[in-house]
Homo-oligomer: A and B are copies of this chain.
Amino acid sequence: MQTLSENRCFGGTQGVYSHAATTTNCDMTFGLFLPEEAQDGPVPILWYLSGLTCTHENAMTKAGAQQWAAEQGIALCFPDTSPRGEDVADDEAYDLGKGAGFYVNATQDPWARHFQMWDYVAEELPALLAENFAIDMDRQAITGHSMGGHGALTLAMSLPGRFRSVSAFSPICNPTGADWGRKQLTAYLGDDETTWARHDASLLMAETGFDGPVLVDTGTSDQFLDLLKPETLAAAAAKRRQQIQFRMQPGYDHSYFFVSSFMEDHVAFHAEALYA
């Protein structure tokens, strides 16, 4: 593991690190914020999964999460959204290939060799953090934005006991039923739609739900509502009587101005679960 940068930030340290990842067969870069308390011992962690076109950097610089994490004594991890490098397959579209890993393990060519983002985020990166940083892996929570909200919700529901709480900002809620999803799931997983179901937050909510609190925020002026389909998640959660705060925020859109506006709420929500 290599340290690319470390900056003092809200009394803690915002670091950027890279490592040769075996799941994705390439060098991966991630951001990690450690609050001051990490100097004295392991701290809880909140994962932040980013959306289409993002790297590890966007949320790290624009979401304003460090201040609240510092206040709560929580670490933040910002993984990249796809494998990277010259020999990694890509597509001209912004929503397929690099920057658009969709948090799945691809089974189809040309993607399968590197696009193993589920295993990277669920297994390899947590193991790396546990080994190298003062993080209490028994206290994890997860959030994300857009495609990252999809990742957060599907990981949380698929790994029972791993995360104490899950939240999302304008998540892709029903990828098997929308153009942000069908195209990518076809490319990465193939035509057999039965393999898609475990990557659809609304289907997972109907099937298994989440054993803990859920918070979802979406803007009423989000320009991508037709692609996100928050209504399918809301309906599934209500039907199974899932503990959830599902909020449509008046006038907000899909941007980081929206994410940062409600970041304080989300970090406080996770802190309550992490320190319960």
Contact = CB atoms under 8 A, between A and B. Distances in A.
15 contacts: A7-B255, A7-B258, A8-B221, A8-B252, A8-B253, A8-B261, A9-B258, A9-B260, A9-B261, A61-B61, A64-B64, A64-B67, A64-B260, A66-B260, A67-B260
B8 A257 contact: yes
B7 A253 contact: yes
Number of copies: 2
Contacts of A19: none
Interface in A235-270: 251-253, 255-258, 260-261, 264
Contact of A61 (B62, B253, B261, B264): B62
A10 interface: yes
Contacts of A260: 9-10, 64, 66-67
Contact of A257 (B7, B62, B221, B264): B7
A14 interface: yes
A219 interface: yes
Interface of A: 7-11, 14, 61-62, 64, 66-67, 219, 221, 251-253, 255-258, 260-261, 264
A14 to B, nearest CB: 5
Given A62-B62, A64-B64, A67-B64, A261 B10 contact: yes
A256 B67 CA distance: 13
A250 to B, nearest CB: 8
A219 B8 contact: yes
A110 to B, nearest CB: 34
Contacts of A258: 7-9
A257 B9 contact: yes
A13 B260 CA distance: 13
B14 A257 contact: yes
A221 B219 CA distance: 40
Contacts of A252: 7-8
Nearest to A7: B257
A45 to B, nearest CB: 19
A160 to B, nearest CB: 35
Contacts of A10: 260-261
A252 B11 CA distance: 9
Contacts of A9: 257-258, 260-261
